[in-house]
Amino acid sequence: MEITFLGTGVAIPQKGRVQSGVMVRLEEKPLLIDCGSGVLSRFPDAGILHTNVDTVLLSHLHLDHVADLIPLVKANWLRGKTDMRIYGPDGTEDWFSTVLGAYEYILDGVNVDVIELSPGKEFTPEGFDCEITCAAAAHSVPTLAYRVTAEDGEFVYSGDTEPCRDVMDLAVETDLLIHECSFPAGTKVTNHTTPVTLAEMLEEYNMEIGSICLTHFYPEMRGHEREAVHRLKGYGDGEIILAEDLMRLEL
């Protein structure tokens, strides 16, 4: 299993970071998790052929996680790839049909299946040899964290969230926890995570976990990344990793 971080930033533009997107290769088949602005442009640099991507998981519907999804559908359509499956939280079907409905010239030419998920759902996407479980994250809109389990490893992707019990339960004994860390220690914030609030939750759980990879950095985190690593050191059996655009991890 290979994980490529296509975008590790947020809605505010930053040099070197586009918005949220993670590509997972499962036996050479790509699974895209979130598709924020700038993610599609990272495909060539990551060696990903966009027409090979036909399955997308959405954590939630904020623009910095979905803005490049319609452009991906169009790019595939222009090259004759018309089918896609999109999984997401409550509201995904209405959002997608509304946005795509503004482009009638694409609407009639594509076959997109939107599957809405509820927390606790377990499923295997068509064409994949893996199991995916979702849990409710703590954000300002319905948001899902995902656990992807395959023969060669498993990881959890938190989406946007405050540190919360449901996501921690999902991450027990996983090889890798990909968790947002939007702001530095000392920032008072809801709906998002700081190194201190994540450390407090991990300490409360005292759970077995592998490596922890931090992502979804606001500009305020610049210069504070190493502080985050130091604060979280020792809470996983593996490394504390700072995600960068186009960084690859293997499980």
Which stretches within the chain are classed as H helix? Answer: 39-46, 63-66, 69-78, 92-100, 104-107, 165-171, 195-205, 225-232
- Please give the structure tokens belonging to residue 3: 């994980």
CA dist 21 → 40, 109, 159 (Å): 9, 26, 10
- Please give the structure tokens belonging to residue 184: 């530095």
Concerning whether 64 is annotated as a catalytic residue, the answer is yes
Residue 242: phi and psi, rounded to 5, are: -100, 115
Angle 192-33-104 from CA coordinates, rounded to 5°: 110
- Please give the structure tokens belonging to residue 99: 């946005």
- Please give the structure tokens belonging to residue 210: 């592998």
Angle 225-229-232 from CA coordinates, rounded to 5°: 135
Q: Which of 34, 54, 64, 68 is catalytic?
A: 64
β partners of residue 249: 3
Q: Concatenated DSSP letters for 97-153?
A: HHHHTT-HHHHTT-EEEEEE--TT-EE--TT---EEEEEE-BSSS--EEEEEEETTE
User: Which of the residues are catalytic?
Assistant: 64
